[in-house]
Amino acid sequence: MAAPALATQDAFEEFLERERTKDLLRFTTAGSVDDGKSTLIGRLLYDSRNVYEDQLESVTKASLGRNAGVIDFSLLTDGLRAEREQGITIDVAHRYFSTPRRKFIIADTPGHEQYTRNMVTGASTASLAIVLVDARKGLLPQSRRHAYIAALLGLRHLVVAVNKMDLVGYDAAVFRQIEEDFRAFLREFPSIHPYFIPVSALCGDNVVARSSNMPWFEGLSLLDYLEQVPVAGRTHAAAFRFPVQRVVRPDRDFRGYAGTVASGRVRVGDAITVFPSCKRTTVTAIITFNGNPKEAQAGEAITLALSDDLDITRGDLIASAANSPTTASSIRATLVWLDEAPAELNRRYRLKHMARQEWTELKAIDYRININTLARESAPALEMNGIGAVRLEAARPLTFDPYAQHRTTGSFVLIDPVTNATVAAGLVQGPAEESSFARPSLRTANAINWQIQNGALVISTTRPGGFSARNGNSSGSAITDEGTLQTFHALLEKLGVSLF
Amino acid sequence: MTALSHLRQLEAESIHIFREVAAECQKPVLLYSIGKDSSVLLRLAQKAFYPGPIPFPLLHIDTGYKFREMIEFRDRYTAELGLKLIVHTNHAALNGGANPFAWGIQRCCGALKTTALLDGLRAGGFDAAIGGARRDEERSRAKERVFSFRNERGQWDPRNQRPELWNIFNTHIRPGESLRVFPLSNWTELDVWQYIHAENIPVVPLYFAKLRPMLVRGDTLLPLEQPFIPRLPGEQTQLVKCRMRSLGCSPCTGAIRSDADTVPRIIEELIGMRRSERQNRVIDHDQDGSMEIKKQEGYF
Ligand SMILES: Nc1nc2c(ncn2[C@@H]2O[C@H](COP(=O)(O)OP(=O)(O)O)[C@@H](O)[C@H]2O)c(=O)[nH]1
Ligand SMILES: [Mg+2]
């Protein structure tokens, strides 16, 4: 590890203080097999002095066995025996390194068949992706896929590393052509901020330090860029969201709600709403082991105490009263299918969304995305590595924000109830109906209330804005018994509420 | 407000993991191994459940060959925190003469660690075992999930792991199957020491340098706590200023020469360090990929 010269005790204290306040960047890698992802990461670790001697010795030994004369940096990340034997990466591997400015967490993902599944997994926690392009091959269809997946998963920053520049004589024209081509199709993904850099992972050019082999390149080295790219996410500015993980009741006098602030901030005295019940109350205390702060922000794990004794359970979502999320049982979502057994229509899956688990049924596959052309295709089924737009119906309402606006409240996974496998990654798009309110189902009994008031049938929901409808004759004429059911159906129709 | 520091982010993520286990698993247990990672794990568990108590017991797999100072620390610290501690030992193997010299390191570890762990978990009926392993410790650990699935025999299948996305964890298992849960997955050795420093967390005194009697064999400093450690002809212990970088069984854990007698000095030493943490753990040296093999058999 980079050892700063710590001449005096003061300097060391200062150093410790800086270390305590440094931030964290998570990134993932993408590229086809053999583009050099593992080598690039190995190089980044090695040149930033985050590799220990004995680790290096053990991979140097192995490299000799595999006929290479130089150190094979990919062996630093390819940790399983089968990987070292076959020279491939099997599964997402996590790597850690730090510089005086930042701590980095890398998800190194393999580029072979299971590639979509792995890249989606790696990207789900990352805020930046490094996409590798082999300088000799130029842009390939998969480069487009990588950009698509990065954009889909909400990554803002994309580093396009044009690798193996040593094999094209460090030619500026090769790099510029690839950059131009890549920029052309990035126009489809306006949310992405790209950074282009020519590198040789094997030789270390432009990885940690700027390379004298490419004086024509004037940008930052890869590491310098990673150190200065902004990390403070959107989550800080967003509205307050707090998924309730546990109800804390150590004794009769105390009742609190433990969870992690998913976005925004909360202060003592804030008005909040609990979803899906829509009950309102205020925050009386923020409790932590280290004391009770007046305020907490996105990312902090805290316990909230509220002024009213409400019926709040694990899986509820506490949100700012002013800016509320959507509640619906029927949702539109993008699914990335992760399992060998394809998605089955009308089959029940467990849906885990924040701390909530609900039974859900896959109602429709509206279309599948062709990952190479990005065209929408009709699809009878969704297979492993497939990405599709679907509709799901949950047994009880879910409270969410669209994934594009909120990573935590907009993401879920599907679990197969028989095999217990995690079969899909889900990104919420919105409620299944065009109206801003969802189409709730009568099975979700607590979402719909109906009563007879002055002889008129009134149906209402407990969702935000609580819409209601009464039968046309609100002047008070009684509903006859025979007529009730018919009126009821007519009103449901009007509200867009389905019976099932 | 600025972004949370890396330590605060790691802390919050670990707390989230602890709360998920407590909410979703039937009968979790915290595997307490007395080292620095376990000390951090305990502090994070306290924070996760505060103002309530830690809602599960601690399980220590005692091989019988842990350092005396570790056992003293364990008993004092867990009593101080008011935690329920279960100690499980493979007495049959110990009575049968298990030690790393008589049985060889692999067989000894298999009996006193792996078998003892699986038996201890079964005896308690635990469906989730929370441990302090970190992904940066060893190459095969880098592939491990935070919620790592184990079959009925406690085995890990690295090629068939559940994908883990965002911070959503799948805790579903069938009877007999279990989960290993690693709240410190994303921490590094340096993070752990920085956190110990920032939070003033007690650790076993063996981590701090002082003069200790050691057998000096080349680069290796071997503590002499057990009578069965064979001495070379005429070999005597010497007083060496040294400390333990990681703690395990005394016959298989080498010390490192060091002057670091405070946490800041340990951090300073670590930053200049050129060898990884596990190199003084004799056990990993048997064969290439030995940790992966042990884990497939059910080791932590
Ligand atoms: N000449 C040259 N070879 C490279 C470079 N980067 C990677 N390689 C080689 O390309 C092969 C594949 O690299 P690897 O890192 O395993 O690719 P991955 O499949 O993307 O992880 C290995 O033989 C590397 O040594 C580079 O910059 N220049
Ligand atoms: Mg690779």
User: In sequence order, what are the residues at sequence separation of 6 or more whose Cβ sits closer than 8 angstroms to the Cβ of residue A373?
Assistant: none
B233–chain A nearest CA distance, Å: 30
Going by alpha carbons, the residue nearest to atom 8 of ligand 1 is A36
Q: How far apart are CA B55 and CA B22, in angstroms?
A: 7
Contact A101, A227 (CB under 8 A): yes
Domain layout of chain B by residue ranges:
6-193, 204-285
B227 to chain A, minimum CA–CA distance in Å? 30
Give me the pLDDT at residue A2, please. 40
How far does the centroid of ligand 2 lie from the alpha carbon of residue A160, in Å? 17
Give me B299's structure tokens.
């080791």
Note the pLDDT of residue A286: 98
The answer to whether the CB of B250 falls within 8 A of the CB of B226 is yes
What ipTM does the predicted assembly reach?
Answer: 0.90
Query: Is A106's C-beta closer than 6 angstroms to any atom of ligand 1?
Result: no
**Cα A462 → chain centroid:** 29
pLDDT for res B71 = 97
Tell me how far apart the alpha carbons of residues B166 and B172 are, in angstroms, rounded to a whole number.
17
Is A207 touching ligand 1 by the criterion CB < 6 Å? no
Q: pLDDT digits over B33-83, tens only?
A: 999 999 999 999 999 999 999 999 999 999 999 999 999 999 999 999 999
> What does the pLDDT look like over A370-380, one tens digit per residue?
887 888 999 88
Residue type present at position A273: T
The per-residue pLDDT for B159 is 76
Q: What ligand is nearest to the CA atom of residue A34?
A: 1
Q: Does B200 touch chain A (CB under 8 A)?
A: no
Least confident among A144-158, A446-460, B54-68, B79-93: A446-460
The letter for the amino acid at A294 is: K
Q: DSSP 3-state helix, strand, coil percentages of chain A (rounded to 5)? A: 25, 35, 45
Residue pair B59/B31 in contact by the 8 Å Cβ criterion: yes
Give Cα separations from A143 to A116, A148, A306, A308, B215 (angstroms).
Answer: 12, 9, 49, 53, 58
The reported pLDDT for the residue numbered A467 is 45
Rounded to an integer, what distance in angstroms lies between the CA atom of residue A158 and that of residue A195? Answer: 6
The burial class, CB within 10 Å (0-12 / 13-18 / 19+), for B95 is exposed
What local confidence, expressed as pLDDT, does residue B43 receive? 98
**Cis amide leading into A100 (omega within 30):** no
Q: Tokens 């467990």 identify what position?
A: A350
Beta bridge partners of A95: A106
Instruction: Establish if B237 touches chain A: CB-CB under 8 angstroms.
Output: no
Q: What percent of chain A has pLDDT over 70?
A: 74
Going A30 to A35 to A37 to A41, the CA torsion angle's sign is: negative
Say whether domain A9-228 belongs to CATH 3.40.50.720: no
Nearest to B6 among A4, A23, A79 (CB): A23
What does DSSP say about strands A102-108 and A23-30: parallel, antiparallel, or unpaired? Answer: parallel
A428-451: average pLDDT: 55
pLDDT at A468: 52
The per-residue pLDDT for A118 is 85
pLDDT at site A398: 95
Of A473 and B202, the structure prediction assigns the larger pLDDT to B202
Per-residue model confidence (pLDDT) at position B285? 40
Give span(s): CATH 3.40.50.300, chain A.
9-228
CA distance A145 to A134: 15
* DSSP code, position A71: -
Tell me, what's the pLDDT at A15? 76
Distance CA A266, CA A269 (A): 9
Q: Look up residue A327 and give its two tokens.
A: 């509640």
Residue A286: in which H helix or E strand, if any? strand A279-287
Asked if the A240-320 domain carries CATH number 2.40.30.10, the reply is yes
Report chain A residues whose CB lies below 8 A from the CB of B7. Answer: 20
Specify the pTM. 0.86
Name residues whose C-beta falls within 8 Å of residue A86's C-beta, 6 or more positions apart in sequence: none
d(CA A113, CA A385): 9
User: Exposed e or buried b for every residue in A4-27, given b needs 16+ CB within 10 A?
Assistant: eebeeeeebeebbeebeebbbbbb
Taking residues B294-299, report their average pLDDT.
65
Instruction: Retrieve residue B278's tokens.
Output: 């596990």
Contact call for B270 and A117, based on CB within 8 A: no
Cross-chain CB nearest to A121 (options B12, B165, B190)? B165
Backbone angles phi, psi at A28, to 5 degrees: -130, 165
- CATH 3.30.420.10 assigned to B6-193: no
User: How are beta strands B58-61 and B28-31 bridged, if at all?
Assistant: parallel
Name which residue leads in pLDDT, A56 or B198.
B198
Chain A CB contacts of B12 below 8 Å:
260, 299-301
Q: Output the six-digit token pair for A70.
A: 């130089």
Cβ pair B16:A53 closer than 8 A: no
pLDDT of residue A465: 41
Mean pLDDT of chain B: 89
- Dihedral, A247, A251, A255, A261 alpha carbons, nearest 10: -50
| Residue predicted with more confidence, B270 or A257 | A257
Predicted confidence (pLDDT) per residue in A283-307, tens digit: 999 999 999 999 999 999 999 999 9
Calculate how far, in angstroms, residue A487's C-alpha sits from the geometric centre of ligand 2. Answer: 64
Cβ neighbour number for residue A278 with a 10 Å cutoff? 16
- pLDDT surpassing 80 at residue B295: no
Span A57-98, pLDDT tens digits:
555 555 544 444 456 666 666 655 666 566 555 678 888 888
pLDDT in tens, B12-34: 999 999 999 999 999 999 999 99
Which of A86, A202, A207, when mutated, tests ligand 1's pocket best, judged by the most ligand atoms within 8 Å of its CB?
A: A202
DSSP H or E run through A390: strand A387-400
Predicted local confidence at residue B294, as pLDDT: 63
Q: Is B210 at the interface with chain A, CB within 8 A?
A: no
Q: What is the pLDDT of residue B37?
A: 96
**Facing residue for B142 by CB, picked from A13, A94, A98:** A94
Question: Looking at the predicted structure, is the pLDDT value of residue A493 above 80?
Answer: no
Compare CB distances from B194 to A20, A117, A297 and report the shortest one's residue: A20
Q: What is the pLDDT of residues B169-215, one digit of tens each?
A: 999 999 999 999 999 999 999 899 999 999 999 999 999 999 999 99
Asked if residue A47 has its Cβ within 6 Å of ligand 1, the reply is no
| Residue B216, number of CB atoms within 10 A of its CB | 15
Span(s) in chain A for CATH 2.40.30.10: 240-320, 326-431
pLDDT 10s digits, A189-223: 898 999 999 999 999 999 999 999 999 999 999 99
Sheet holding B128-130, edge to edge: B85-88, B58-61, B28-31, B128-130, B178-181, B147-150
Percent of residues, chain A, with pLDDT higher than 90: 55
Tell me which of 3.30.1330.10, 3.30.450.80, 2.40.30.10, 3.30.420.40 is the CATH number of domain A326-431.
2.40.30.10
| B275 pLDDT tier (thresholds 50, 70, 90) | low
Mutate to test the pocket of ligand 1, among A39, A63, A89, A114 (most ligand atoms within 8 A of CB): A39
Per-residue pLDDT for B300 more than 90? no
Residue B255 bridge partners (DSSP): B221
CA of A328 to the centre of ligand 1 (A): 48
pLDDT at B14: 98
pLDDT score, position B178: 94
**CA dihedral angle for residue B167, residue B172, residue B173, residue B175, rounded to 10 degrees:** 140
**Peptide linkage before B183 cis (omega within 30 of 0):** no
Establish whether residue A111 lines the binding site of ligand 1, counting it when its CB lies within 6 angstroms of any ligand atom.
yes
Closest chain A residue to B12 measured between Cα atoms? A301
Q: Which of A181-190, A359-368, B5-14, B139-148 has the lowest mean pLDDT?
A: B139-148
Q: What's the mean per-residue pLDDT of chain A? A: 82
DSSP 8-state secondary structure symbol assigned to residue B152: T
> Which residues of chain B are within 8 Å of residue A3 when distances are taken between CB atoms?
271-272
**pLDDT band, residue A1 (cuts 50/70/90):** very low
Across residues A346-371, what is the average pLDDT? 95
- Least confident range from A40-49, A165-174, B23-32: namely A40-49
State how far residue B25 is from chain A, nearest Cα, in angstroms. 13
